[in-house]
Protein backbone atom coordinates (compact mmCIF):
# COMPACT_ATOMS: atom_id res chain seq x y z
CA UNK A 1 0.00 0.00 0.00
CA UNK A 2 1.41 3.40 -0.93
CA UNK A 3 1.67 6.12 1.69
CA UNK A 4 -1.05 8.14 -0.06
CA UNK A 5 -3.51 5.27 0.33
CA UNK A 6 -3.48 5.58 4.10
CA UNK A 7 -5.46 8.81 3.75
CA UNK A 8 -5.66 11.29 6.58
CA UNK A 9 -4.32 9.66 9.76
CA UNK A 10 -5.06 10.67 13.34
CA UNK A 11 -2.49 9.81 15.99
CA UNK A 12 -4.57 9.53 19.15
CA UNK A 13 -2.47 10.68 22.11
CA UNK A 14 -2.83 12.17 25.55
CA UNK A 15 -6.31 11.34 26.74
CA UNK A 16 -7.47 11.47 30.34
CA UNK A 17 -5.86 8.44 31.98
CA UNK A 18 -3.12 8.45 34.61
CA UNK A 19 -0.72 7.62 31.76
CA UNK A 20 -1.45 10.82 29.84
CA UNK A 21 2.12 12.15 29.99
CA UNK A 22 3.60 8.92 28.66
CA UNK A 23 0.94 8.79 25.94
CA UNK A 24 1.89 12.28 24.78
CA UNK A 25 5.51 11.16 24.45
CA UNK A 26 4.48 8.01 22.57
CA UNK A 27 2.15 9.93 20.29
CA UNK A 28 4.68 12.59 19.41
CA UNK A 29 7.21 9.91 18.46
CA UNK A 30 4.67 8.10 16.28
CA UNK A 31 3.51 11.35 14.68
CA UNK A 32 7.03 12.38 13.68
CA UNK A 33 7.76 8.88 12.38
CA UNK A 34 4.68 8.85 10.15
CA UNK A 35 5.34 12.37 8.89
CA UNK A 36 8.91 11.37 8.02
CA UNK A 37 7.43 8.65 5.81
CA UNK A 38 5.26 11.12 3.93
CA UNK A 39 2.00 10.13 5.64
CA UNK A 40 -0.68 12.77 6.20
CA UNK A 41 -0.65 12.34 9.99
CA UNK A 42 -2.11 14.69 12.62
CA UNK A 43 -2.10 14.76 16.42
CA UNK A 44 -5.51 14.22 18.04
CA UNK A 45 -5.98 14.47 21.81
CA UNK A 46 -9.37 13.11 22.98
CA UNK A 47 -8.99 15.14 26.17
CA UNK A 48 -9.39 18.31 24.13
CA UNK A 49 -11.42 17.23 21.09
CA UNK A 50 -14.62 15.28 20.71
CA UNK A 51 -14.14 11.90 19.07
CA UNK A 52 -16.89 12.74 16.59
CA UNK A 53 -14.50 15.23 14.97
CA UNK A 54 -12.54 12.27 13.56
CA UNK A 55 -15.46 11.48 11.26
CA UNK A 56 -16.31 15.11 10.58
CA UNK A 57 -12.73 15.96 9.63
CA UNK A 58 -12.32 13.03 7.26
CA UNK A 59 -9.78 10.89 9.09
CA UNK A 60 -9.37 7.54 7.34
CA UNK A 61 -7.29 5.70 9.97
CA UNK A 62 -6.25 6.08 13.59
CA UNK A 63 -2.98 5.13 15.21
CA UNK A 64 -3.85 4.60 18.88
CA UNK A 65 -0.98 5.89 21.03
CA UNK A 66 -3.24 6.24 24.08
CA UNK A 67 -2.33 4.31 27.21
CA UNK A 68 -4.51 3.23 30.11
CA UNK A 69 -8.22 3.68 30.56
CA UNK A 70 -10.31 5.49 27.93
CA UNK A 71 -7.73 4.57 25.30
CA UNK A 72 -6.47 1.04 25.81
CA UNK A 73 -9.56 -0.50 27.42
CA UNK A 74 -11.94 -0.89 24.47
CA UNK A 75 -13.81 2.39 24.89
CA UNK A 76 -12.03 4.31 22.12
CA UNK A 77 -12.00 1.16 20.01
CA UNK A 78 -15.79 0.93 20.35
CA UNK A 79 -16.22 4.55 19.27
CA UNK A 80 -14.04 3.97 16.21
CA UNK A 81 -16.02 0.83 15.34
CA UNK A 82 -19.23 2.88 15.35
CA UNK A 83 -17.65 5.51 13.11
CA UNK A 84 -16.13 2.89 10.80
CA UNK A 85 -12.58 4.22 11.15
CA UNK A 86 -9.90 1.47 11.18
CA UNK A 87 -7.47 1.64 14.08
CA UNK A 88 -4.24 0.04 15.21
CA UNK A 89 -4.10 -2.69 17.83
CA UNK A 90 -6.65 -5.02 19.32
CA UNK A 91 -10.41 -4.79 18.98
CA UNK A 92 -13.01 -3.92 21.59
CA UNK A 93 -13.21 -7.17 23.53
CA UNK A 94 -9.50 -8.04 23.52
CA UNK A 95 -8.63 -4.49 24.56
CA UNK A 96 -11.17 -4.50 27.37
CA UNK A 97 -10.11 -7.89 28.75
CA UNK A 98 -6.39 -7.17 28.47
CA UNK A 99 -6.73 -3.89 30.38
CA UNK A 100 -8.35 -5.79 33.25
CA UNK A 101 -5.53 -7.75 34.89
CA UNK A 102 -7.95 -9.93 36.88
CA UNK A 103 -9.96 -10.98 33.81
CA UNK A 104 -6.73 -11.55 31.89
CA UNK A 105 -5.38 -13.83 34.61
CA UNK A 106 -8.67 -15.74 34.81
CA UNK A 107 -8.56 -16.50 31.09
CA UNK A 108 -4.90 -17.44 31.17
CA UNK A 109 -5.50 -19.74 34.14
CA UNK A 110 -8.50 -21.32 32.40
CA UNK A 111 -6.38 -21.91 29.30
CA UNK A 112 -3.62 -23.52 31.38
CA UNK A 113 -1.10 -20.68 30.96
CA UNK A 114 1.11 -19.90 33.98
CA UNK A 115 0.45 -16.69 35.91
CA UNK A 116 1.28 -15.86 39.55
CA UNK A 117 -1.31 -16.65 42.23
CA UNK A 118 -3.54 -13.70 43.03
CA UNK A 119 -6.48 -12.35 44.97
CA UNK A 120 -8.86 -9.57 44.03
CA UNK A 121 -9.55 -7.31 47.03
CA UNK A 122 -11.86 -4.41 47.80
CA UNK A 123 -10.62 -3.21 51.20
CA UNK A 124 -7.57 -3.15 53.45
CA UNK A 125 -8.72 -6.13 55.54
CA UNK A 126 -8.93 -8.30 52.42
CA UNK A 127 -5.46 -7.08 51.44
CA UNK A 128 -4.09 -8.27 54.78
CA UNK A 129 -5.84 -11.62 54.30
CA UNK A 130 -4.30 -11.89 50.82
CA UNK A 131 -0.86 -11.25 52.30
CA UNK A 132 -1.37 -14.13 54.73
CA UNK A 133 -2.39 -16.34 51.81
CA UNK A 134 0.11 -15.29 49.14
CA UNK A 135 3.09 -14.62 51.38
CA UNK A 136 5.91 -12.09 51.26
CA UNK A 137 6.73 -10.29 49.07
CA UNK A 138 3.36 -9.50 47.53
CA UNK A 139 2.50 -7.02 44.78
CA UNK A 140 -0.52 -4.74 45.30
CA UNK A 141 -1.68 -2.79 42.25
CA UNK A 142 -4.75 -1.36 40.52
CA UNK A 143 -6.37 -3.99 38.33
CA UNK A 144 -6.92 -1.58 35.44
CA UNK A 145 -3.88 0.68 35.26
CA UNK A 146 -0.49 0.42 33.63
CA UNK A 147 3.07 1.77 33.86
CA UNK A 148 3.33 0.45 37.46
CA UNK A 149 1.11 3.35 38.58
CA UNK A 150 -0.24 2.75 42.10
CA UNK A 151 1.90 -0.37 42.59
CA UNK A 152 3.50 -1.39 45.90
CA UNK A 153 5.77 -4.31 46.77
CA UNK A 154 4.62 -5.37 50.22
CA UNK A 155 6.98 -7.24 52.55
CA UNK A 156 5.22 -6.83 55.92
CA UNK A 157 1.63 -7.03 57.11
CA UNK A 158 1.84 -3.43 58.32
CA UNK A 159 2.36 -2.18 54.74
CA UNK A 160 -0.89 -3.68 53.45
CA UNK A 161 -3.22 -0.84 54.43
CA UNK A 162 -1.12 1.86 52.75
CA UNK A 163 -0.61 -0.32 49.67
CA UNK A 164 -4.35 -0.85 49.30
CA UNK A 165 -5.03 2.87 49.83
CA UNK A 166 -2.56 3.81 47.08
CA UNK A 167 -3.86 1.27 44.57
CA UNK A 168 -7.51 2.08 45.24
CA UNK A 169 -6.87 5.75 44.45
CA UNK A 170 -6.51 4.63 40.83
CA UNK A 171 -9.07 1.83 40.67
CA UNK A 172 -11.67 0.40 43.09
CA UNK A 173 -10.65 -3.05 41.83
CA UNK A 174 -7.29 -3.93 43.43
CA UNK A 175 -5.15 -6.95 42.62
CA UNK A 176 -2.86 -8.67 45.11
CA UNK A 177 -0.35 -10.91 43.36
CA UNK A 178 2.33 -13.36 44.44
CA UNK A 179 5.77 -11.87 43.79
CA UNK A 180 8.01 -13.94 41.53
CA UNK A 181 11.70 -13.33 42.19
CA UNK A 182 13.93 -13.73 39.16
CA UNK A 183 14.53 -12.40 35.67
CA UNK A 184 12.05 -9.91 34.22
CA UNK A 185 11.53 -10.12 30.46
CA UNK A 186 9.10 -8.76 27.93
CA UNK A 187 8.10 -10.10 24.52
CA UNK A 188 6.38 -8.01 21.83
CA UNK A 189 4.00 -9.81 19.51
CA UNK A 190 2.77 -8.63 16.10
CA UNK A 191 0.07 -9.87 13.74
CA UNK A 192 -3.28 -11.60 13.69
CA UNK A 193 -4.33 -14.12 16.37
CA UNK A 194 -4.05 -17.05 13.98
CA UNK A 195 -0.46 -16.22 12.97
CA UNK A 196 1.31 -14.12 15.63
CA UNK A 197 4.97 -13.19 15.31
CA UNK A 198 7.10 -12.84 18.44
CA UNK A 199 9.85 -10.22 18.32
CA UNK A 200 13.10 -10.70 20.29
CA UNK A 201 12.81 -10.87 24.07
CA UNK A 202 14.21 -8.06 26.19
CA UNK A 203 15.58 -8.76 29.68
CA UNK A 204 15.10 -5.82 32.04
CA UNK A 205 17.65 -5.11 34.75
CA UNK A 206 16.45 -2.17 36.84
CA UNK A 207 18.29 -0.47 39.74
CA UNK A 208 17.73 -2.60 42.86
CA UNK A 209 15.23 -4.63 40.82
CA UNK A 210 12.80 -1.71 40.95
CA UNK A 211 11.30 -1.23 37.48
CA UNK A 212 8.92 1.56 38.53
CA UNK A 213 7.42 4.52 36.66
CA UNK A 214 10.55 6.64 37.12
CA UNK A 215 12.94 3.92 35.97
CA UNK A 216 10.70 3.05 33.03
CA UNK A 217 10.52 6.48 31.46
CA UNK A 218 12.79 9.05 33.03
CA UNK A 219 16.17 7.49 33.92
CA UNK A 220 18.97 5.91 31.94
CA UNK A 221 20.12 3.50 34.65
CA UNK A 222 17.83 0.60 33.70
CA UNK A 223 19.54 -1.97 31.45
CA UNK A 224 17.68 -3.54 28.52
CA UNK A 225 19.41 -6.65 27.24
CA UNK A 226 18.74 -7.79 23.66
CA UNK A 227 19.61 -10.60 23.14
CA UNK A 228 18.21 -11.43 26.55
CA UNK A 229 21.06 -13.81 27.41
CA UNK A 230 18.81 -16.51 28.84
CA UNK A 231 19.80 -20.18 29.15
CA UNK A 232 19.43 -22.30 26.03
CA UNK A 233 15.84 -22.87 24.97
CA UNK A 234 14.25 -20.42 27.41
CA UNK A 235 13.86 -17.55 24.97
CA UNK A 236 12.06 -19.74 22.44
CA UNK A 237 9.77 -21.18 25.12
CA UNK A 238 8.86 -17.74 26.46
CA UNK A 239 8.23 -16.39 22.95
CA UNK A 240 5.84 -19.29 22.39
CA UNK A 241 4.14 -18.56 25.73
CA UNK A 242 3.75 -14.89 24.77
CA UNK A 243 2.12 -15.87 21.47
CA UNK A 244 -0.29 -18.18 23.29
CA UNK A 245 -1.14 -15.41 25.76
CA UNK A 246 -1.86 -13.10 22.80
CA UNK A 247 -3.96 -15.66 20.98
CA UNK A 248 -6.25 -16.74 23.81
CA UNK A 249 -7.18 -13.10 24.51
CA UNK A 250 -7.95 -12.49 20.82
CA UNK A 251 -5.34 -9.74 20.42
CA UNK A 252 -4.43 -8.41 16.99
CA UNK A 253 -2.08 -5.83 15.51
CA UNK A 254 0.44 -5.75 18.31
CA UNK A 255 0.89 -6.21 22.04
CA UNK A 256 3.61 -6.79 24.60
CA UNK A 257 3.57 -9.61 27.15
CA UNK A 258 5.44 -9.12 30.43
CA UNK A 259 6.91 -12.23 32.05
CA UNK A 260 8.79 -13.10 35.26
CA UNK A 261 11.08 -16.13 35.34
CA UNK A 262 11.39 -17.84 38.73
CA UNK A 263 15.07 -17.70 39.69
CA UNK A 264 15.00 -21.19 41.25
CA UNK A 265 12.72 -23.23 38.98
CA UNK A 266 13.24 -21.14 35.79
CA UNK A 267 9.49 -21.38 35.20
CA UNK A 268 8.06 -18.36 33.35
CA UNK A 269 4.93 -16.61 34.66
CA UNK A 270 2.78 -14.22 32.63
CA UNK A 271 2.14 -10.94 34.47
CA UNK A 272 0.08 -8.93 32.00
CA UNK A 273 -0.28 -7.98 28.37
CA UNK A 274 -0.30 -4.45 26.97
CA UNK A 275 -2.37 -3.88 23.83
CA UNK A 276 -1.20 -0.30 23.28
CA UNK A 277 2.45 -0.43 24.33
CA UNK A 278 4.63 2.59 24.84
CA UNK A 279 6.41 4.17 21.89
CA UNK A 280 8.70 6.57 23.79
CA UNK A 281 12.47 6.79 23.64
CA UNK A 282 12.63 4.27 26.51
CA UNK A 283 9.94 1.95 25.18
CA UNK A 284 10.47 -1.75 24.67
CA UNK A 285 8.61 -2.66 21.48
CA UNK A 286 10.69 -0.29 19.29
CA UNK A 287 13.83 -1.61 21.01
CA UNK A 288 12.89 -5.20 20.22
CA UNK A 289 11.93 -4.30 16.65
CA UNK A 290 15.34 -2.69 16.11
CA UNK A 291 16.98 -5.94 17.20
CA UNK A 292 14.93 -7.61 14.46
CA UNK A 293 16.17 -5.06 11.91
CA UNK A 294 13.03 -2.88 11.87
CA UNK A 295 13.43 0.85 12.45
CA UNK A 296 11.08 2.87 14.65
CA UNK A 297 9.64 4.55 11.56
CA UNK A 298 9.10 1.26 9.74
CA UNK A 299 7.46 -0.22 12.83
CA UNK A 300 4.98 2.68 12.96
CA UNK A 301 4.12 2.27 9.29
CA UNK A 302 3.77 -1.50 9.72
CA UNK A 303 1.29 -1.04 12.57
CA UNK A 304 -0.65 1.60 10.65
CA UNK A 305 -0.82 -0.65 7.58
CA UNK A 306 -2.55 -3.29 9.72
CA UNK A 307 -5.16 -0.92 11.16
CA UNK A 308 -8.53 -2.68 11.03
CA UNK A 309 -12.06 -2.91 12.38
CA UNK A 310 -13.59 -5.80 14.30
CA UNK A 311 -16.69 -5.25 12.21
CA UNK A 312 -15.02 -5.32 8.78
CA UNK A 313 -16.21 -8.79 7.82
CA UNK A 314 -19.70 -8.07 9.13
CA UNK A 315 -19.87 -4.88 7.12
CA UNK A 316 -18.66 -6.63 3.98
CA UNK A 317 -21.33 -9.31 4.40
CA UNK A 318 -24.03 -6.67 4.84
CA UNK A 319 -22.93 -4.93 1.63
CA UNK A 320 -23.05 -8.23 -0.24
CA UNK A 321 -26.59 -8.90 0.98
CA UNK A 322 -27.67 -5.37 0.09
Residues marked active site are found at: 19, 147, 217, 256, 258, 272, 274, 278
Residues 6+ apart with CB under 8 A from 20: 14, 47, 68
Please, are residues 199 and 285 in contact by the beta-carbon 8 Å criterion? yes
Give the rounded distance of the alpha carbon of 44 from its chain centre.
20
- DSSP string for 112-155: T-----EEEESSHHHHHHHHHHH-SSEEEEETT--TTTT-EEE-
Question: 86: buried, middle or exposed (CB in 10 Å: 19+, 13-18, 0-12)?
Answer: middle
Nearest 5°: CA angle at 249, between 315 and 101? 125
Q: Which value, in Å, is the radius of gyration of the alpha carbons in the chain?
A: 20
Cα–Cα distance, 219 to 143 (Å, whole number): 26
Amino acid sequence: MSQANYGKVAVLMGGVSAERDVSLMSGEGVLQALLSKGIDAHAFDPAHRDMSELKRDGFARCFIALHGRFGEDGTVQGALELMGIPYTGSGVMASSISMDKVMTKRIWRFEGLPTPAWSQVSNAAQTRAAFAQLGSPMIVKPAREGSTIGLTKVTTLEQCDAAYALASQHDPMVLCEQFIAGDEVTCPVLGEPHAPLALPLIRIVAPDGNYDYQNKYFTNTTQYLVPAGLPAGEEEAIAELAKQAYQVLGCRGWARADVMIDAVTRKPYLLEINTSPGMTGHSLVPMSARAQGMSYEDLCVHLLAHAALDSTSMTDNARTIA
